[in-house]
Structure 1
């Protein structure tokens, strides 16, 4: 007679089935990390087929998924006519899946682990018997998703708590992610939390909480500044490619799946600290030989956090709350505080090295409420107040010459989400998220003359700024800034075993308010300490923009046909932003001004298909071949509305010469007069404060229409295989290509208004062929047309073809064994950007898609630029190993290609004099005018970007930990060794060639922070 319950452990059975081929593949892939695909935004799922012992499908089988992660405990569905079932919207956790049908034994599958966006395949053959007889199967959880096609990286709390990192540096753990230069939090705790990958762009990156955006309106709605506490996340699900129709953009989507409490109380605490005495600051001899005078070093890094969650009412109402305090400070090489910030001449105080420092305070509360068996409500509140206390401080500014950003008081995110499984097949979801985000730009320290009066000074020979942070559109100008947004979603899912159909709508509204208050509404320019000129600003200055609607409507069907699952999606996108009306009172130099609102900046409409397929190769859920292709729009919010706001289209600043005859550093003249008087020359533009007729305009077909928005297509093909229980391999090919490029053109000129010239590259053995080669394709406007300008942003297709294409390969593995966890990966790629069809023979085209001025020669050697495979090949992995006596060691390694000899995408340059250009041009440079002696110059790029690279380097981080257990409480002491082997790669270098020997060309300017030891402790109960 059969026992009432029979238990089967699949782990040992599958282990014996491992083949020699699988072992060989593991040896090859031990450096890699697999990406788990995702379909839902923050939840997982379980799917499969139920058959009888003869192989026939069984409809009507009740399938229940139970877990302590569910506040409702159990979610149930039934198999359809094909014997298929799908359970969706399951929180990350470990599940027991139970199958029941009259006339068959009850079947239980234990230990099914789900992460966000992962669908576990659980196929079952039900044995004949009675419901009272139970077969229980345990073993390793499925690790191959045979239904979803989205490429995804999941970072669990185990990884966050066990590997040496700054706790938010997800880029360091993701093969292919853009380079991370953080060493133990030296760049700030949020460094590496967002990144680009597979040819994507920073403007397409989005941060999500429970699947909803919380980026600010800045930077095409990719703005950061509000930093989420990873302590409050159950896990971080990062989508790396193939995003479904639920997503507007194709860039990286970082989704923080929040903790929500449970039926028992759980707590966590963390404390970590390091300072300069634990940081190596030595300069290697090789860098000294390259004229590196000093290196950046850590001043201090601290990170303290804690959380508590549990039941208010068991199975009814849960709570979770997390708190975090962190900060960092790093020394700026070669820079010191000003001895007297009110003095007209900067004098460094060598006893006070300058620092870049940041602080952050974050508090979180979340409630999960099971209103009824079929209604669940989540409410969350995150608030923080932080400080960028010396923003973007470099060697080009004294500490008081930069800014302090105070974020708050305080900023917060409010979120509410609702789910309603109306039946076992019909699911309703809704949510609303609001970000209130404001900050104030202010002086970094008290100014003796006051923030409104202590005028900034810029030294003309070096660009060095001191006394205060003045100017307009200087990153961090004083004034109040507000950049709020609110977004909502609603979706309906209808799920059978064969189909998982979902349709929904998403909408976002946003507000931006940007004020600029330069002290004194002026800025002085000195040359070698003597007054040279004055810049006057049209103040008050305030612009407002509105994102009227960013609307997305989508439909997706996940259709399973035997072993093939199709992912079919279509998305409608509509974006409408405008510049708000502005009334400004009179200021020191301009009268009261009134600006009307301007609509449709822009108004875009797009249709974007997304198609994918996943095939369960052998039908056992352990091998899948996948592919997908999709069209995605480019990120945008109010950037164009800001660029075309009438305040910004006015003449908002002018310059005038200043001859300080009496040396009192006071302009002894009437600055309200536009004409020359006493010590001051005339202002540079008599339209000061009024509309600027030469302001940049946008072509109507750039701003409005169907399909006129920037876009990209993405495709990938992948092979995923379970080598043995707990070990999975992923090999994937990616391709990304862009369209609807724009260019900025001076429409006042035509190609015939320019003359071409060649120059000779410097003679230097470090250049190709020793240098001395001709560099042609340079242009100078003809003297009769000099100074004429009317810039218009147009579609690049009006001038020719332009392309940007990425091709790349990932090889990744994830190994979860008894005492060892290994995750890592190899990524390599090639990016080709070809602007030749646009810039060759079109010297009136001044800027490309990025908005940066095109500065290269208009020849194929410069306009067809390739970042080669070697320049993008990287290896990253992390390992955690549990030793006896509650000891644990872990490590991460990041291997990167060397830095390209380029600055902002521009290769090496040389300033050529008029006499060097004259033989080729046949005349003086037009900038010289009628001067008897021409002193004009032209800066020419003689070596394209990505032609020369620094050496490859690797950063190793190590951790040693010991755990002490007291009942349910675990206390762990931690020692982290960041950059353990003290690698000092060059991260940036001088690209300007000067003199006959190069001057400081290729001299390093920044390097990776040296070895850093950090002490921490964490507590779990």
Structure 2
């Protein structure tokens, strides 16, 4: 039997760790997937009792662990699943200690340090409960989201991981779909785990299943999770941001479970003032935009149950969850006022086609005149009729679009207490998501009704885990995971209009060769219809993963050591060819109608080339490739004395990238012949925890660590396939006059090396893994009454972060613009000049040098480099109160500042992310995730009164749970729009290589594409936001062990209009000409209202409460839940 390479590597990891465990060294410490109970046993005078025996009994499964304290009275019981335990401590000559409700949480040590009074062992000191109030041993900055918070706090997002936003140092990205930023770092640098197994998608570097699906794991299957923001243990890696580590539920000796139904309907909530649709007020009249409240109905139901299969031995847990969403969209034009303007049936008196001054027709009548000329029609009236008819036919592609989402999740789990020394668990999570027309999720979409695209996700993973206590003092944990994340998207069936006008076979004798799917057509101020250029996506990705991990814990004296290894083998299959069905772009509706009518006549079809550009991709549909992630780690926790713990560790990581595809290597670009192999990723981690006064009430913790993130697989894929080789996926762009350009609506059936030359993408020869240096310092004080306050300084310093730069640009010259801002509303003074670098095309003819770039045979040559630095510092204040006397609350405030040199949040690659490719320092500014101020307050309050009799059913067991957050607005930059296609450069007329003021095509990594160079990136901020979510519930005892709960929730209950986007276009790029049509000046015109030039549009609000699940109009949800 042939053993695959990944199996050999995984077995090696496990073998090394297991061999070390067999050396007989004692275990001492909790792991990333469980918790621990530990402390010091002393007598009444504070002297250690070295003869004590500690018994930890699981209240759920009756499993027990027995340990003997060491000579200093110190003990620790590890590998405890988050739950409640009974702890009994006995010692000869002393009274026994017993606590029946000891709470263990993931990643934390619950400290029990009793002082046993002298007496008989048969006499017992009873303690009601214990919980980990203070972190007295580890230096990490983290928080636990426990079952109480998961059950009782209102959170708008259905994803359980969204609860991480309740912890300090964490913010959502601008989309609000669930991507998180930790300490100002990119949302792509995090790591999500479930029961210690990797739960990420390597291709897009997001949580498995991504964010368009409702959620990838049912909340009913999650016991609790830990949010690690800084300086986390060496077991965690492959992340330069944060780690969210979840633990699933298990069954016990008693049957327990829940059933639930949640119903949310937009009709019960508020409307968004910026959500509009286009309507025709009167028949054959003008079109205009009106506000409306879109339909959005969401229903979630399911349940979970756990219990014994064989008492004390074998247990099961099963969760099932359904999520259905009915949210029809509106297909609309982006600028309906302009797009749906209709010409007069006859020219008004005194107006003539081609007239100037007083005889000039209106803009829309002039469009009809142009159509008359293009089609060589006999009269203006005939052209006006054709224009209006063509517009009416296009309108058939707009209006309401049925759209749904349907998701099913199953989660079975089995726990097997093999014997007193071995515990195994097996679990599977299966997700299926189907969403017809669901690729585009906005209420109003600027696409045709049959161009939204269908979205599908099939996600399945299984995890097996074995915990072994070789003796009472030796432990080993081994995990294996297999997972598949299969995501695919397909076009909808074409509309009748698209089949008739874009496919054929009635189009002048032409018939589309690609199975009846039409090309994409995009019209400025209108919408896009046909087959979207990003479709079909038969697999994006089809990702399969195998993971093996092993962790060992042991001790020598007062040194507590853990070490182990981890290996992940990932196979990504990608099947997606961009623009394979072709894509036409039109700058005006008139030009589109011209080509439409010309294409319908065999005698004129050859003239149907009035488009601005045509793009089509060719070549292989995709490829599959493998990556391997290796990690080895060791950590020593040194209990120097009862008050001071020191931690030191080191983690090594290596990401093995695939070899280039030999047929795709371009000999003239040697970088395409290799991918990076960085083996120097050694990350030290050190920290301390100090009990300042020795009473366990005041703790000082701090630490430093070096962390590494992965190279995103989508970047690897682009470097493999988009090398510029014609054997890859070359994409060619044509103007209407380019050699080989098709006539509308034809597509090119086979690869023809014409049009613009292909682009190339490759890794820099010095590329390294992203690296983050983290440090933190915390002072934590136990105030008593289950209340803790803390103050923390956080620092994160990024190095070698990835970005993209175009190396195929000419040496820059300079360009000078004259500023036009009559009312002086913009940052540049009216009439002043603005000078910038300028990247101009070569004056050599495109027939001699096709790209008119330094390398004539290629367009952009994108270098994926690791040269971006970042700097984050924050100050966090927290207070938390565990549930006592009917109240639990937590509040935190974070002040922070995140700066970087253009950290990139983009999956895949862009041609050029730098505004000025010669000046990386020009990118320095506020991070995209810079949120200087953020405050979060949550609480759970239960009714303190207790009535009896019939009154108890009406008046007892109420609960109110607020969740409030407020933060600074997200940053944005001054952006530009347009291209200096023919500008005056040092007295010569030159063309820009790309868009933007300097013609580099560099979008800039700030929030505002084609940023204006010379101005601070992300120097402006949107208005601050705040959201209050509120839940009110009433519980009923319907049986001895069954509780029924009725819930009412409102998200953004005050309907605060939280701004989610603003107009970032500060200036339009243009030119002026003299009578002889010669360029005389380059202009930067400030963005103001066409109706009132004194009214700036730059910075104006364009949308509010439209950010996924983070910010929405007020929504109401009604629910019922039963627990037993």
Cα offset, 1:198, TM superposition:
1.1
Query: Equivalents in 2 of 1:923, 1:847: separation in Å?
Result: 39
**Aligned residue in 1 for 2:189:** 204
Select which of 1014, 1023, 1033 maps to 1:961. Answer: 1033
Matches within 5 A, 1:7-26: none
Query: Equivalents in 1 of 2:940, 2:122: separation in Å?
Result: 42
User: What do residues 330-352 of structure 1 show as CA deviations (whole Å, max 9, x unaligned)?
Assistant: 4657738999xxx9997345994
Query: Equivalents in 2 of 1:1003, 1:296: separation in Å?
Result: 22
Query: Equivalents in 1 of 2:323, 2:649: separation in Å?
Result: 42
Query: Equivalents in 2 of 1:928, 1:201: separation in Å?
Result: 29
Secondary structure, in 3 states, of the residue corresponding to 1:400?
coil
Query: Equivalents in 2 of 1:402, 1:762: separation in Å?
Result: 39
Query: Equivalents in 1 of 2:747, 2:1024: separation in Å?
Result: 58
Cα offset, 1:255, TM superposition:
1.7
**Aligned residue in 2 for 1:498:** 558
Query: Equivalents in 2 of 1:984, 1:230: separation in Å?
Result: 29
Gaps of 5+ in 2: 1-28, 276-287, 341-389, 504-513, 596-608, 665-671, 845-851, 946-955, 1003-1009, 1069-1084, 1090-1096, 1106-1111
Cα offset, 1:928, TM superposition:
9.7
Structure 1 position 433 matched with structure 2 position 503: no
Query: Equivalents in 2 of 1:668, 1:796: separation in Å?
Result: 42
Gaps of 5+ in 1: 1-37, 286-290, 585-596, 676-681, 686-691, 703-707, 839-845, 930-934
**Aligned residue in 2 for 1:890:** 961
User: What do residues 928-956 of structure 1 show as CA deviations (whole Å, max 9, x unaligned)?
Assistant: 99xxxxx9999661654433223222111
Computing the radius of gyration from Cα coordinates, the structure with the larger value is 2
Is this contact kept in 2: 1:142–1:622, CA < 8 A? no
**Aligned residue in 2 for 1:229:** 218
**Aligned residue in 2 for 1:778:** 837
Query: Equivalents in 1 of 2:838, 2:737: separation in Å?
Result: 35
- Do the aligned partners of residues 298 and 205 (structure 1) sit closer, same or farther apart at CA in structure 2, a change above 3 Å counting? farther
**Aligned residue in 2 for 1:177:** 170
Cα offset, 1:117, TM superposition:
0.9
**Aligned residue in 2 for 1:829:** 896
Secondary structure, in 3 states, of the residue corresponding to 1:696?
strand
Query: Equivalents in 2 of 1:227, 1:557: separation in Å?
Result: 35
Secondary structure, in 3 states, of the residue corresponding to 1:373?
coil
Query: Equivalents in 1 of 2:693, 2:814: separation in Å?
Result: 66
User: What do residues 650-704 of structure 1 show as CA deviations (whole Å, max 9, x unaligned)?
Assistant: 34222345589xxx985579855849xxxxxx5444xxxxxx6x623333332xx
Matches within 5 A, 1:717-732: 717-732=777-792
Select which of 971, 977, 984 maps to 2:1050. Answer: 977
Matches within 5 A, 1:38-77: 40-69=31-60, 71-77=61-67
Structure 1 position 315 matched with structure 2 position 304: no
**Aligned residue in 1 for 2:718:** 643
Name the structure with the higher strand share.
Answer: 1
Structure 1 position 442 matched with structure 2 position 490: yes
Structure 1 position 820 matched with structure 2 position 887: yes
Cα offset, 1:825, TM superposition:
1.2
**Aligned residue in 2 for 1:299:** 296
Give the alignment's Cα RMSD to 1 decimal.
Answer: 4.0
- Do the aligned partners of residues 1015 and 820 (structure 1) sit closer, same or farther apart at CA in structure 2, a change above 3 Å counting? same
Cα offset, 1:517, TM superposition:
5.6
Select which of 567, 574, 577 maps to 2:657. Answer: 577
Cα offset, 1:180, TM superposition:
7.2
Structure 1 position 542 matched with structure 2 position 622: yes
Structure 1 position 653 matched with structure 2 position 725: no
- Do the aligned partners of residues 668 and 559 (structure 1) sit closer, same or farther apart at CA in structure 2, a change above 3 Å counting? closer
Structure 1 position 467 matched with structure 2 position 533: no
- Do the aligned partners of residues 761 and 333 (structure 1) sit closer, same or farther apart at CA in structure 2, a change above 3 Å counting? farther
Question: Which stretch shifts more, 397-406 or 324-333?
Answer: 324-333
Cα offset, 1:458, TM superposition:
2.6
Matches within 5 A, 1:383-782: 383-389=430-436, 390-393=438-441, 395-408=445-458, 411-445=459-493, 452-462=515-525, 464-469=527-532, 471=533, 474=534, 477=537, 481-495=541-555, 498-516=558-576, 521-527=581-587, 528=589, 529=592, 530=595, 531=609, 532=611, 533-547=613-627, 549-562=628-641, 563-578=643-658, 600=675, 602-646=677-721, 649-651=724-726, 652-658=730-736, 672=750, 674=752, 683-685=755-757, 695-702=760-767, 708-741=768-801, 744-747=804-807, 751=811, 753-755=812-814, 757=816, 760=819, 762=821, 766-768=825-827, 775-781=834-840
- Do the aligned partners of residues 773 and 951 (structure 1) sit closer, same or farther apart at CA in structure 2, a change above 3 Å counting? farther
Superposition TM-score, scaled by structure 2 size: 0.74
Is this contact kept in 2: 1:275–1:300, CA < 8 A? yes
Is this contact kept in 2: 1:62–1:79, CA < 8 A? yes
- Do the aligned partners of residues 139 and 412 (structure 1) sit closer, same or farther apart at CA in structure 2, a change above 3 Å counting? closer
Select which of 361, 364, 368 maps to 2:408. Answer: 361
- Do the aligned partners of residues 657 and 317 (structure 1) sit closer, same or farther apart at CA in structure 2, a change above 3 Å counting? same
Is this contact kept in 2: 1:171–1:180, CA < 8 A? no
Cα offset, 1:98, TM superposition:
1.8
Query: Equivalents in 1 of 2:908, 2:217: separation in Å?
Result: 34
**Aligned residue in 2 for 1:679:** none
Query: Equivalents in 2 of 1:446, 1:462: separation in Å?
Result: 22
**Aligned residue in 2 for 1:240:** 229
Is this contact kept in 1: 2:240–2:708, CA < 8 A? yes
Secondary structure, in 3 states, of the residue corresponding to 2:93?
coil
User: What do residues 398-431 of structure 1 show as CA deviations (whole Å, max 9, x unaligned)?
Assistant: 34323222223xx311110000011222101101
Cα offset, 1:566, TM superposition:
1.2
Cα offset, 1:265, TM superposition:
0.5
Structure 1 position 126 matched with structure 2 position 116: yes
User: What do residues 689-733 of structure 1 show as CA deviations (whole Å, max 9, x unaligned)?
Assistant: xxx6x623333332xxxxx32211011111111111311112111
Number of residue-to-residue matches in the alignment: 906
Query: Equivalents in 2 of 1:634, 1:346: separation in Å?
Result: 51
Cα offset, 1:115, TM superposition:
1.1
Superposition TM-score, scaled by structure 1 size: 0.81
Cα offset, 1:851, TM superposition:
7.1
**Aligned residue in 1 for 2:1122:** 1019
Is this contact kept in 1: 2:89–2:97, CA < 8 A? yes
User: What do residues 863-913 of structure 1 show as CA deviations (whole Å, max 9, x unaligned)?
Assistant: 33135999420111111111141111111111121233x2xxx53325475
Question: Which stretch shifts more, 219-228 or 204-213?
Answer: 219-228
Query: Equivalents in 2 of 1:429, 1:161: separation in Å?
Result: 30
- Do the aligned partners of residues 296 and 357 (structure 1) sit closer, same or farther apart at CA in structure 2, a change above 3 Å counting? farther
Secondary structure, in 3 states, of the residue corresponding to 1:392?
coil
Secondary structure, in 3 states, of the residue corresponding to 2:180?
coil
**Aligned residue in 2 for 1:947:** 1019
Query: Equivalents in 2 of 1:1011, 1:728: separation in Å?
Result: 33
Query: Equivalents in 2 of 1:534, 1:847: separation in Å?
Result: 25
Secondary structure, in 3 states, of the residue corresponding to 2:796?
strand
- Do the aligned partners of residues 952 and 648 (structure 1) sit closer, same or farther apart at CA in structure 2, a change above 3 Å counting? same
Is this contact kept in 2: 1:452–1:520, CA < 8 A? no
Query: Equivalents in 2 of 1:292, 1:858: separation in Å?
Result: 44
Secondary structure, in 3 states, of the residue corresponding to 1:454?
coil
Matches within 5 A, 1:334-353: 335=332, 347-348=394-395, 352-353=399-400
Secondary structure, in 3 states, of the residue corresponding to 2:236?
coil
Is this contact kept in 2: 1:479–1:517, CA < 8 A? no
**Aligned residue in 1 for 2:847:** none
Is this contact kept in 2: 1:623–1:721, CA < 8 A? yes
Query: Equivalents in 1 of 2:1017, 2:565: separation in Å?
Result: 43
